Structure 1
């Protein structure tokens, strides 16, 4: 009885003769293809449709796949989609990923090595190519077929390395070959979503040893490695589908392909960890709301210069706790309410400390009701450090400031504890009015040329996101250091990409690939970045539910002119000069 699985399946009929059949039979034994054939017969795989074949093959090998439900939940059900994975095993991952994806996307096609023609039952999944020869003219029809499939709304799975992962002498790591830029070209030309996948696992040590002697030994070993996966547990980790618009404008396909590859390795579970348990274990009930009428009474008694401006039905003020204790109490209540939504806050009835008594409170209220919609807490460092005591600064508890840091050399405003109530968090107006207020304040007190403070990185972000933001944004300095530094190592393959290309232009795409709810860079961080902020270091605020805070400073007179005009109005030139 002829073999169902044999190298004869990949030899054209006009090339088959008595001698080739003898040679192929010998090779089938040497390469363990005969064992595949035994598996084929044992599980009655011959003649099955592609879906039944893939399922039965996995059952026959008793492979336990972990993470498939999570993968399937992240696959867009319609629309152009490009999916890419690393290639650790060299074959079986193509089978089980196609089978798993097909359950959500029946239109899935897989760009595959011609060697998989050894499984004729799977032919309907595959668009065959020769990945070892990128310039092979016979690949052109396959590429056109892939492009047409995605353009018409189909889903395409690729293994862009084109070969099985191997040991790299330069990095001393087992990883994929460089990915083919075809993946970025197809994704861009079809405006598809990109879904990165990482498959965990390794082939045998013999496979890598032989591959180091001669690379083609890896190909010859693949059938044996497939059979060796019997009883294996394999974890599949999927990222989030990323719209192409989130990648840096003007990025070339080569760099984008490298980023796609890095995004796959970023998913490796071995390089993921959870945040430590929150020190705030129990939340006290929030304090009772302060009435708007009481707040209006207090603000009406403030000196006129502390009423910065009105805008429509909103008014902006600044004041001090001894002038308006009830207003500061309500600010502290609202801070706690908002911070809890971001897994921050103190857990107490109010978010308050002794710094509320010495810092300046800038806030926005509804003119007629007194409802507070947002606030900033600002430390005037020339006043706070008049006695030379650095303990008068809140951020001294987070950072070790050297004598050369800007807050010890000139008057600054230490910015912190900012918030907007929920109904204003997604509107331009709330943040705009807070910054108009800051602009009006510094125009009154132009000795303050530098703002510095922290942007909180909520622990609702993945730990990897915080590490990406740190690596992308921070400019190393010896002028300040975190007392409790944030520490998390990103995957070495992403680190290699960062060393070569930097991450600053790619933070958006990287975060979109791992944040389940589509979170982007924090709005306030984006805003400071537009102002030309320098980001110094990322520390853990032990007094704020162990929340990471990114320390920054802004040389305000040198901020973009259009923003100075926006926030300072007619006073911008006098302030700048």
Structure 2
């Protein structure tokens, strides 16, 4: 696998931080790594009650999507990955049906225009042995930022983020309630219809009363979940990472092909991204000003 990394063109390298290097490449350039990626992807998802149930989590979308690869250059090992679809190209060559998310949601009206300007995210994971470290997931998010810099036509980040079926339905319901209340994409929900909607169950409680004063911040809601569940449940880490950069959640679908997890449809308008988060992700990088400029920030502007 290291040989495949060594043979990648220099323009496929996004950045190196410590012992980790990040690349953006196509599947055809890394056949051995793709096999390992499929194995590790399935392994990571099964560990949280998700996954396809197959030995390898690979499908037809992997063939024409790009792959954001995080690589441990000291140990010559895969650390994590994202699957990225460039909306402009997908619309041009395959139409709306070329998007993975259309298997989960039916799009119409204004959403078609969003798709054509989007970078579709999906299948993000960190290899189990690296999950105790905070840095790999941070670097994958950083990789998304650099992928946006490489693609000038992208205005939106779009993709599913999952809440595992391992969470009791009551806690999944509270999470969806909080996300709808505090991080909704507004009227766009009318144009993205879940193919298998999630129906909440609050166990006869009133969520308005239960969550009164608990939804002001992500941290406050997260602490509430922890206390209520005796330190067992909290918002999924990736959900929190997305919210921190100002992502919205459009609507929610239950995915029977992924062990009935709840998929929230994440949408980020790059014009609304948090400057402080971009600055934190690019701290110390030589090309930082170029990244800030891509997101519409110049010296002296706020978030």
TM-score range, shorter chain: 0.7 to 0.9
Q: CA deviation at 1:535?
A: 0.9
Q: CA deviation at 1:543?
A: 2.5
The corresponding residue for 1:355 is 61
The answer to whether the aligner puts 1:554 opposite 2:260 as a matched pair is no
Q: How big is each residue's C-alpha offset from its partner over 1:61-94, in whole Å with a ceiling of 9 and x where there is no partner?
A: xxxxxxxxxxxxxxxxxxxxxxxxxxxxxxxxxx
The corresponding residue for 1:384 is 90
* RMSD of equivalent CA atoms: 2.1
The 5 Å alignment of 1:121-132 reads none
Q: CA deviation at 1:482?
A: 0.7
Q: How big is each residue's C-alpha offset from its partner over 1:524-556, in whole Å with a ceiling of 9 and x where there is no partner?
A: 111111111111111112322222111111112
Q: CA deviation at 1:325?
A: 1.1
The corresponding residue for 2:209 is 497
Contact 2:70/2:78 (8 A) holds in 1: yes
The 5 Å alignment of 1:483-562 reads 483-497=195-209, 503=215, 505=217, 507-515=221-229, 518-562=232-276
The corresponding residue for 1:573 is 292
Q: 1:372 aligns with which of 78, 81, 99?
A: 78
Q: 2:4 aligns with which of 287, 292, 298?
A: 298
In terms of fraction of residues, the more strand-rich structure is 2
Return closer, same or farther for 1:491/1:460 CA change in 2, 3 Å cut-off: closer
Contact 1:315/1:366 (8 A) holds in 2: yes
CA distance in 2, matches of 1:357, 1:410: 19
Number of aligned residues: 283
The answer to whether the aligner puts 1:342 opposite 2:54 as a matched pair is no
Q: CA deviation at 1:464?
A: 0.9
The corresponding residue for 2:192 is 480
Contact 2:96/2:112 (8 A) holds in 1: no
TM-score, reference length from structure 1: 0.47
SS at match of 2:174: helix
The 5 Å alignment of 1:182-261 reads none
Return closer, same or farther for 1:378/1:409 CA change in 2, 3 Å cut-off: closer
Return closer, same or farther for 1:468/1:411 CA change in 2, 3 Å cut-off: same
CA distance in 2, matches of 1:370, 1:335: 17
Contact 1:471/1:503 (8 A) holds in 2: no
SS at match of 2:71: strand
Q: How big is each residue's C-alpha offset from its partner over 1:380-431, in whole Å with a ceiling of 9 and x where there is no partner?
A: 1111111452221111010011221266454211111011122322322111
Higher relative contact order (CA 8 A, sep 6+): 2
Q: CA deviation at 1:511?
A: 2.1
Q: How big is each residue's C-alpha offset from its partner over 1:473-512, in whole Å with a ceiling of 9 and x where there is no partner?
A: 1225212121001112314542342697684645324422
TM-score, reference length from structure 2: 0.86
Q: CA deviation at 1:443?
A: 1.3
Q: How big is each residue's C-alpha offset from its partner over 1:436-464, in whole Å with a ceiling of 9 and x where there is no partner?
A: 21122211223212111111101221111
Task: State which structure, 1 or 2, has the greater radius of gyration over its C-alpha atoms.
Answer: 1
Return closer, same or farther for 1:414/1:407 CA change in 2, 3 Å cut-off: farther
